[in-house]
Structure 1
């Protein structure tokens, strides 16, 4: 009988590092599995949806863009009401219902044959998606210990990037085959992942507030909408969230139309962003578990975003090699800023929310993010792509101002909170 060789110091060190990459608690690990399954399906659909709508359904690119814009507006409006409903029914139960409903909504895309039908289904799916994000954030606020919420959220974001990246890679086969059957298969798989994700919610804390006399009452009569400081924080974080459109929309158009860099550098930029987020997002949360330090980190992220915008703009007019170097360098700066601003935003949204109404507050915060996602493509292309370097400078100034403004606004928010919140923060 052979015996296993003894562990070497290098083996022990490697094992320790690999274990350190895993979440510390059972709830976060279960949420990570759930997130991986769900985002894998999302990556499949996101990568092929535009091609499916135009080549298989027969819609024009203008119709798809218009429909998704209208659907995005519906998503902005849906987050807070569904979050408030989660406060009453329990976040886990509400999230399971939304996931199952979204599975049905995705399958309805197979029946779409006209623009009106597409618009109805797109609005339904987007509203369910926005509500699901808000309710999941509310579940995290109640299911995870306060000291590990931001770190747990960072784990889930890293897993999200892995899942979407893997789904996008698998979707390449359907794009290569380019048949309606292939696209419908991917839609069915995505719908199935929502069903599996709903089942994986079993065993998680319910996220249901205490009932009756023990149930805490919201601090404000009209909830999050009557909290001006939190509204301001939501708006400023929404401005910082416009950065996500840079990598997805603006930079590809900038590379292809305004620089001498090869088009393949777009893939390198996106891969750089994904890899950095997966490797370092959790590390970027260190020391960002209270509002005051989170606001200072948000200020730093705004300055880094401004620097990234300047560097992106400087790629114009350079030769192919230097343009690639400058663009990838800007992408690294932007990825660092993205990790910092995300971590700061999670801390602010969790720590400054009313504990008696996590769903309503997370719904409002998510609506700010959804609004940013809706207006970002038009805003970023209307500045950077239309005006070149001056447009990039304008975007950079916007990010820097928003990040800096979060420091005094957070101080204002703490001053309007109960003394216990202010003291721990």
Structure 2
């Protein structure tokens, strides 16, 4: 099993291994920071939890606005160059958190970091496509996701040292480690060799005139994928609150859920991503994801009515089912985002596709909390029906977007 896992996660080519190293360093920095950031902002810097939440929400909005412009710039200037600058900028900005005792400074730094982190998503996707092409890009992203989970877990463990110490110096060290991690990522990205993009043919001018945001069928696919990605809010907000508030179980049960989620993604993300290298296959994976997430929601709803002795086992079962829906959704989204954009427009279309993820980051926490905590078991059922319906729609939506893209290319 260990040999099979290593075979799935360790890339074969030198370029892919460099990208894997970059992902590992980035995820460790992210993991160590996110695990301790809330405590750093409130206990060390001294802001209230409410003010931190408001600033981070505003920052998320600015990040949401940055995705499409970042993608367009990647098409024009190259994703590698922009991503290198992005990591270098984040390194400086994270270090500035140590000097953000003034609330206005903290707000500005948080907004700039959100822009950098959100813009990094389409830039990384465009760079991956440019480095590996359509055939290999989906598998590489699956490998990177497994490695990202591994690095995040290691980063969270390292953050535990700072949390245990609880001193100001320990938390400043956490910030410094994350800043250094971003700087290392900048150097590694700079060392990657992005192929020169072929010049756009004059015959493709008709494709160029239509902005990605006006490709309404692609936008519809983006929104569908974003709705399916509500599994993130399920995992990070819905399940912990359901366990502790509604079921009144120990928070340690949520630790079991999180650990099992990380391990299953490590074990199965690469092998279950097969078939996502075509738009039709990716759409089928999205449909499968919606139906599996529907089943998971129904099991979560059942935990409200079973005898207490069955609650913990059913929660773990529902969480395990949810992981496979998450895995299929991630793989399907990569395939769709790589296959549907026209030639020379990967960056711009990746930026638009990231809007779906940004939308669920805005709406997800409020929606999942309202359904799961305010309504209860029936809320889980409603959420499951949404997953099932949207997943079923993915196949015809992707087919329509693909046919539309072909018509535009032929007309051009």
Q: 1:217 to 1:153 in 2, by over 3 A?
A: farther
Structure 1 position 367, deviation (Å): 2.2
User: What is the alpha-carbon distance in structure 2 between the residues aligned to residue 62 and residue 127 of structure 1?
Assistant: 21
Contact 2:207 2:408 in 1 (8 A): no
User: What is the alpha-carbon distance in structure 2 between the residues aligned to residue 218 and residue 97 of structure 1?
Assistant: 32
1:25: which partner in 2? Answer: 13
Q: 1:214 to 1:156 in 2, by over 3 A?
A: farther
2:118: which partner in 1? Answer: 130
- 1:364 aligned to which of 341, 352, 355: 352
Structure 1 unaligned regions, length at least 5: 1-12
1:252-299 Cα offsets, whole Å, 9 max, x none, are 111001115332110000001000001100011112211112112211
Q: 1:328 to 1:81 in 2, by over 3 A?
A: same
1:145-188 Cα offsets, whole Å, 9 max, x none, are 32111111000000000010100011011111112211111111
1:109-148 Cα offsets, whole Å, 9 max, x none, are 1111233222211110000111111101110111113211
Q: 1:238 to 1:25 in 2, by over 3 A?
A: same
- 1:273 aligned to which of 257, 261, 269: 261
Structure 1 position 355, deviation (Å): 2.1
Contact 1:105 1:121 in 2 (8 A): yes
1:200: which partner in 2? Answer: 188
Q: 1:114 to 1:15 in 2, by over 3 A?
A: closer
Structure 1 position 108, deviation (Å): 1.3
2:91: which partner in 1? Answer: 103
Q: 1:16 to 1:317 in 2, by over 3 A?
A: closer
Q: Tell me the TM-score normalized by structure 1.
A: 0.92
User: What is the alpha-carbon distance in structure 2 between the residues aligned to residue 48 and residue 412 of structure 1?
Assistant: 45
2:138: which partner in 1? Answer: 150
2:296: which partner in 1? Answer: 308
Contact 1:260 1:319 in 2 (8 A): no
Q: Tell me the TM-score normalized by structure 2.
A: 0.95
1:36: which partner in 2? Answer: 24
Contact 2:149 2:262 in 1 (8 A): yes
Structure 2 unaligned regions, length at least 5: none
Q: 1:50 to 1:268 in 2, by over 3 A?
A: same
Structure 1 position 21, deviation (Å): 4.2
Q: 1:166 to 1:219 in 2, by over 3 A?
A: same
1:115: which partner in 2? Answer: 103
Q: 1:21 to 1:136 in 2, by over 3 A?
A: closer
Q: 1:163 to 1:179 in 2, by over 3 A?
A: same
Matched, 1:89 2:67: no
Contact 2:9 2:147 in 1 (8 A): no
1:326: which partner in 2? Answer: 314
Two-structure CA RMSD over aligned residues (Å): 2.1
Structure having the higher helix fraction is: 2
Matched, 1:238 2:235: no
User: What is the alpha-carbon distance in structure 2 between the residues aligned to residue 296 and residue 359 of structure 1?
Assistant: 24
Number of aligned positions between the proteins: 410
1:194-217 Cα offsets, whole Å, 9 max, x none, are 111111123423255335878965
Structure 1 position 220, deviation (Å): 3.9
1:290-320 Cα offsets, whole Å, 9 max, x none, are 1112112211110111111111121124444
Once the two structures are superposed, the pairs formed by residues 368-407 of structure 1 within 5 Å of their partners are 368-407=356-395
Q: 1:421 to 1:270 in 2, by over 3 A?
A: farther
1:67-95 Cα offsets, whole Å, 9 max, x none, are 11111111110011011111111110110
User: What is the alpha-carbon distance in structure 2 between the residues aligned to residue 216 and residue 108 of structure 1?
Assistant: 45
